[in-house]
Structure 1
Amino acid sequence: MLQQPVIVLSTPTPSASRGKAQLSNIQAAKTISDIIRTCLGPHAMLKMLLDPMGGIVLTNDGNAILREVEVAHPAAKSMIELSRTQDEEVGDGTTSVIILAGEVLASALPFIERNIHPINIIAGYKRALEDSLKFLNEVSVPININERKDIIKLIRATIGTKIVSQWGDLMCNLAYDAVRTVTTEVNGKREIDIKRYARVEKVPGGEIEESCVLDGVMVNKDVTHPKMRRFIRNPRVVLLDCPLEYKKGESQTNVEVTDESHWSRLLEIEEEQVKALCDDIIRVKPDIVFTEKGVSDIAQHFLLKAGITAIRRVKKTDNNRIARATGATIVNRTEELKDEDVGTQCGLFEVRKIGDEYFCFLVECKEPKACTILLRGPSKDVLQEIDRNLQDAMSVARNVMFEPRLCPGGGATEMALAVRLTEAAKGISGVEQWPYKAISEALLVIPRTLVQNCGGNAIKVLTQLRAKHSAGANSSWGIDGTSGKIVDMHEYGVWEPQAVKAQTLKTAIESACLLLRVDDIVSGVSQKGAGNQAQHAPEEAAAGPDEGER
């Protein structure tokens, strides 16, 4: 039987000596980085995980793996947070950041064993980080974000290590189109909100090649009444955030009816109120009404008579996307509806049945600022992995829009930085020189892992690569993750956004510095529990004989 991976790393007791806390933290960090070391590069292996609900997750995404792993050690928990931070900040490089952070911490081990103070090690690391970020600007090259071909090439490099690489062209185009669609200018600043406005709808069945980016929005809903129209050209769209039902009393209202005529009057009032709501809507002559709340049967009747299609209980997030795509305004009270609140940018409304479910399509929108990515595939597991990979691809495209600079991939950037840091270390005097130089050695873990994961000879290939970089301005030479040989990235075409590389370096080195500052791990919970037990023990002992005598 498959079991969820549980890594138990013992927490040192409060009596542990000062150096032991750092050694324990380094060991924990190394263990976490070793788990996902095989998930780097085009020949990355997959991990099979059991989620808490008993479902199986198959992935080589560092963040997705570490989210499911249970750990007991506080330093290991801190390492897992790194991949989450990286994912939220730049959306890619979650595996690299863990591997690099583990190696940076491991490189501090010899210095701690020689009793070099952690503050001196941290000072060397911080200095190396500052210089690395400067060298990164020299290694990177600018890119024209309006050139579709260049951005597609970059996205291809991102998903080249993922499962979806076999449908490379399709996925690259999906990611690029989605990011271009949701890009807006607000007060002269570019805004790209992928999470809110680029929705991925996973529909099992069909071929993966059928996946597409809709020029509009798709919602998993059907019309409320079977006779309502399901196909409308150039519809007028009204969006509501209020129920089309009889308004009940705010507080618990009790009505006592003593006369039959009063009862019929109550029903008439209810009908009149619903009719007034519908009349407010009919006044602006819409074709479709979307509401986040319910629609009563009588409201459906009035809307149907007016030839209006109603769709109820739409999610707030979906309503926001429809508003962006159609140009409509979400209204909270039907009395406040005006002509300018009606959306007219949609070219076609259609209800289609895919598999067993009905979906509303609002497509052919003029300049939609929101979109839906429709993913088709053989099974839910495959679709979830494609979704994860697609999110990474979209994040990379977004990062480049904000910071249009690229660094060579395949470990070329790390090797270039390592060579430059080794040279710069010669000009540093004192103890700081050694931790500074250790960072240059730690950076080599990325190219080394790439070679190891495709079954190459790490020592031989790294020596060749270092020779290329030391010879001069060949900072674009890296490793072909498929064959394990060295190639020029300008010809091979693997590039990564500078924003991802810079964030990886910052997160890995700064977190290593943070963990090195910890000189003791104290557990307060167990002591408190032990103290309480000790207090209650004498009382229980005293109470025992009395009860017996009674």
Structure 2
Amino acid sequence: MGVIFDAELVQSTEQVELYLRRQALCNSNNNDNNLDCVAGPEVTPVDTTLRLINNRPSSAFNEATGRQHRQNAGSSSDTGSGERQVGRKAQMSNITAAKTVADIIRSCLGPKAMLKMLLDPMGGIVLTNDGHAILREIEVAHPAAKSMIELSRTQDEEVGDGTTTVIILAGEMLAQAIPQLERNIHPVVIIQAFKKALTDALAIVEEISVPVDTSNDKSMISLIESSIGTKTISRYSELMCSLALKAVRTVSQDQSFFSSSVQTNGTSKPSTTTNATRSQEIDIKRYARVEKIPGGEIEDSRVLDGVMLNKDITHASMKRRIENPRIVLLDCPLEYKKGESQTNIEITDEDSWNKILQIEEEQVKKMCEAILAVKPTLVITEKGVSDLAQHYFVKAGVTALRRVRKTDNNRIARATGATIVNRVDDLQESDVGTGCGLFEIEKIGDEYFTFLTKCKNPKACTILLRGPSKDILNEIERNLQDAMSVARNVMFHPRLSPGGGATEMAVSVRLAQKSKSVEGVMQWPYRAVAEAMEVIPRTLIQNAGASPIRILTQLRAKHAEGKSSFGIDGDTGNVVDMKEYGVWEPQAVKTQSIKTAVESACLLLRVDDICSAKSAQQAGGNGLSAGAGGED
């Protein structure tokens, strides 16, 4: 199951709009027992299956998201050189495109999520249910669809999780705006109501969230499991949770910085007070590297208390195992100093040639002597090591590694306490790293790997992943990155919100109650936000194969009684208490998801004109750009 290739979108944009309008009107009229919305001809939602060839979706997808952008271009102030849509047509075009993108990954939410199969330009296959990974691979034509994909990227960079949730929420927010526009409510009024609802929603999330002890391994692992449980590697969730938690705790580092405040007491001289403030730095991207080696079993994956490199020694006679090594890190070549570009040397006799060779050898010897003066046992450089330098190192019993990546060198420095030196003349005893307990070279498969382990206080680590194939390892890495992001977020903001759609349903029910006190026409769009929040538990129920109407009614009744921790069991689709079920999510992820979804919906609703810019050939003219926006 998953995405079926070579499927085409068969519905027209008018059908999509009719479906969205009917669904939104049904939701808004639930309390009036209006049953007419289910009558009439069957209108199915747009089929979001794609044909992804060479990293591009099918022409039908681009046509469905861009047909409104192209049609009737000449009917509204067309100047003859560009395409333009104004007012309601532009808003409906944006809503249709955003809803289509949301429908693509709607089935990727929850533990029963379906997989999407993507073909990359090189013919490789990507199997994933990660919303960000899917949207990152597809290419769309409509500007609103591009904006939705950008939402996913922003969510992934900010909190690392909730990418699927934010897209589904944003799409539903825009779909709920259709009946408001049909009532001729001005988009500015809708946006004001959305922002008021956002403020109240964030307060509700804060109210139902609970603090968590980040030093408790059991509670932290159960929290990370709720994130990994929806991924492909849910079978190995306990192992991956422990790997993610250990990696994040390894790279976390307390920082102290000083803040000064100036105080004035009447006419007296101002007095300055300095306060020390502590903060935590957790840089997963830079200091927690994931190394994927095909082969072995997934259970063989582990977190190294140090650094691993895909490097071998430069000379066969060098030591392959050193205990408590003295490490020197360099950012300069241990080779003959090359001349500048277009350097010419004229030699008139044999003695001059020998003298040049002698000078080059003396340069290398001088550099090696400066290094050996601090008595290292391991030298690692980002540049090359000449044969003569290798000779001196072998003679002195020193092991050397060359052409190490800059990022790897930085992690070695952080793990071993060494300082990267740019010139060997500046090398001092304090620059030598002594924090590593063991250096050894191991052969895994057909390649040699360098291990710097048993570090005393490593602030950098390497996560070694093993698995049967590269495709599986890539998916494990994506899921592990999400797990580490969850652990990092909780350490920054140690508060949890109930998962399984419980937070969204609590926000929905309470906003619906508060909407009765909202005056004027703002009450309609305010209530629309409450109805849009139900899309998360509804989608979880649908993906689990249960009855959305029956289960959602039960869940709504529980929350009406004030039981805010009740949500959906993603495996069975039943209503359960998340406190007992043990599914929690970081409050930071929930807050960011709701913020991003509402703000993006407001942004797209504010658009009332879509016009095409000039092409490069037309840009040379002096005329005004085609389809310039009209005045208010």
TM-score with structure 1 setting the length: 0.95
Structure 2 equivalent of residue 54 of structure 1: 123
Deviations along 1:15-64, one digit per CA (max 9) or x if unpaired, are: 53411000000000000000000000000000000112221100000000
Question: Deviation string for 1:70-127 (max 9, x for gaps)?
Answer: 1000000000000000000000000000000000000001111222110000000000
For 2:146 and 2:84, the matched residues in 1 are separated by: 22
1:73 is matched with 142
SS of equivalent to 1:375? strand
**C-alpha distance in structure 1 between counterparts of 2:520 and 2:378, whole Å:** 74
Return 149-158 or 11-20, whichever deviates more.
Answer: 11-20
State which of 33, 37, 40 in structure 1 corresponds to 2:109: 40
Unaligned runs of 5+ in 1: 535-550
* 1:22 equivalent among 88, 91, 104: 91
Equivalent residue for 1:151?
A: 220
Aligned-partner Cα distance in 1 for 2:97–2:508:
25
With over 3 angstroms needed to count, the CA separation of the structure-2 counterparts of 1:238 and 1:527, relative to structure 1, is closer
Letter of the aligned partner of 1:483 in structure 2? T
Please give the alpha-carbon distance, in whole angstroms, between the structure 1 residues aligned to 2:512 and 2:565: 18
Match of 2:600 among 491, 498, 511: 511
Q: Which residue of 1 aligns with 2:367?
A: 277
* Among candidates 542, 545, 548, match of residue 455 of structure 1: 545
Q: Deviations over 1:282-332 (max 9, x none)?
A: 000111111000001111111111111010000000000000000000000
Name the CA shift for 1:265/1:17 in 2 (closer, same or farther; >3 Å): closer
SS in 1 for 2:517: coil
1:199 corresponds, among 289, 307, 310, to 289
Give the corresponding residue for 1:414: 504
Q: Secondary structure at the match of 2:559?
A: helix
Shift of 1:252: 2.7
Q: CA separation in 2, counterparts of 1:438 and 1:344?
A: 62
The aligned residue for residue 566 of structure 2 is: 477
Q: Secondary structure at the match of 1:313?
A: coil
Task: Quote the residue 1:441 is aligned against.
Answer: 531
| Contact 2:326–2:375 (8 Å) recurs in 1 | yes
**Could you report, residue by residue, the CA deviation over 1:380-400 in whole angstroms, capped at 9, with x for unpaired residues?**
000000000000000000000
CA distance in 2, matches of 1:403, 1:133: 15
Deviations 1:421-456 (A, max 9, x none): 011111110111111110000000000000000100
Superposed CA offset, 1:189-221 (max 9, x none)? 100000000000000000000000000000010
Partner SS state of residue 107, structure 1: helix
Alignment partner of 1:267 out of 357, 376, 385: 357
Structure 2 unaligned spans of 5+: 6-51, 74-82, 257-277, 624-632
Query: For 1:208 and 1:156, how far apart are their aligned partners in 2?
Result: 17
Q: In 2, distance between residues paired with 1:115 and 1:522?
A: 23
Contact 2:84/2:610 (CA < 8 Å) preserved in 1? Answer: no
Alpha-carbon separation, structure 2, partners of 1:526 and 1:300: 59
SS at match of 2:600: helix
**Map of 1:102 onto structure 2:** 171
Q: Structure 2 matches for 1:180-195, cutoff 5 A?
A: 180-187=249-256, 188-195=278-285
Q: State the superposition RMSD in angstroms.
A: 1.4
Of 327, 330, 340, the residue aligned with 2:430 is 340
The one of 109, 115, 137 equivalent to 2:184 is: 115
Q: CA deviation at 1:531?
A: 9.7
1:166 equivalenced with 2:235 (yes/no): yes
What is the alpha-carbon distance in structure 2 between the residues aligned to residue 353 and residue 251 of structure 1? 40
Partners in 2 of 1:303 and 1:17 — Cα distance?
74
Q: Does the aligned pair in 1 maintain the 2:116–2:127 contact within 8 Å?
A: yes
Letter in 1 for 2:579: H
Which amino acid counterpart does residue 153 of structure 2 have in structure 1?
R
Where 1:123 maps in the other structure, the secondary structure is helix
What is the alpha-carbon distance in structure 2 between the residues aligned to residue 531 and residue 267 of structure 1?
A: 60
How do 1:486-501 residues align onto structure 2 when only pairs under 5 Å count?
A: 486-501=575-590
Please say if residues 247 and 461 of structure 2, whose CA atoms lie closer than 8 Å, have aligned partners that are also in contact: yes
**Helix, strand or coil for the counterpart of 2:383?**
coil
Question: Using the alignment, how far apart are the partners of 2:86 and 2:379 within structure 1?
Answer: 69
2:85 and 2:611 in contact (8 A); partners too: no
The answer for the alignment partner of 1:295 in structure 2 is 385
Partner of 2:444: 354
Instruction: Give the whole-Å Cα distance in 1 for the aligned partners of 2:226 and 2:399.
Output: 45
More helix by share: 1
Task: Kindly report which structure 2 residues correspond to 1:121-140, keeping only aligned pairs within 5 A, or say none.
Answer: 121-140=190-209
Q: Specify the alignment match of 1:93 in structure 2.
A: 162
Matches of 1:222 and 1:319, distance apart in 2: 15
Name the aligned partner's letter for residue 385 of structure 1. E
- Greater alpha carbon shift after TM alignment, 203-212 vs 14-23: 14-23
Structure 2 Cα separation of the partners of residues 184 and 390 of structure 1: 21
TM-score (norm 2): 0.83
Most deviating of 224-233 and 11-20: 11-20
Distance in 2 separating the partners of 1:29 and 1:283: 65
Give the deviation of 1:253 after TM superposition.
Answer: 1.7
What secondary structure does 2:614 align onto? Answer: helix
Find the counterpart in structure 2 of residue 538 from structure 1: none
1-structure distance, mates of 2:288, 2:247 = 6
Distance 1:423 1:334, change over 3 A: same
Aligned AA for 1:75? Answer: A
Q: Which residue of 2 aligns with 1:246?
A: 336
Match of 2:489 among 395, 399, 404: 399
Work out the percentage of aligned pairs sharing the same amino acid. 68
The CA deviation at 1:527 is 10
Output the CA distance in 2 between the equivalents of 1:365 and 1:80: 42
1:453 partner letter: N
Judging changes above 3 Å, is the alpha-carbon distance between structure 1 residues 219 and 132 closer, same or farther for their aligned structure 2 residues?
same
User: Is structure 2 residue 420 aligned with structure 1 residue 330?
Assistant: yes
Q: Which amino acid aligns with 1:38?
A: S
The SS at the match of 2:557 is helix
CA distances 1:444-494 after superposition (whole Å, capped 9, x unpaired): 00000000001000000000000001012x100000000110000011000
Secondary structure of the corresponding residue to residue 85 of structure 2: coil
CA contact (8 A) 2:282 2:488 kept: yes
CA distance in 2, matches of 1:189, 1:129: 29
Cα–Cα, structure 1 residues 55 and 527, in superposed 2: closer, same or farther, change >3 Å?
Answer: closer
Aligned twin of 1:319:
409
SS of corresponding position for 1:305: helix
Deviations 1:243-302 (A, max 9, x none): 000112234321111110111111111111000010011000111111000001111111
Which residue of structure 2 lines up, in the alignment, with residue 539 of structure 1?
Answer: none
Q: Which residue of 2 aligns with 1:217?
A: 307
The CA distance in 1 between the partners of 2:616 and 2:224, in whole Å, is: 52
CA shift in 2, pair 1:531/1:310, >3 Å: closer
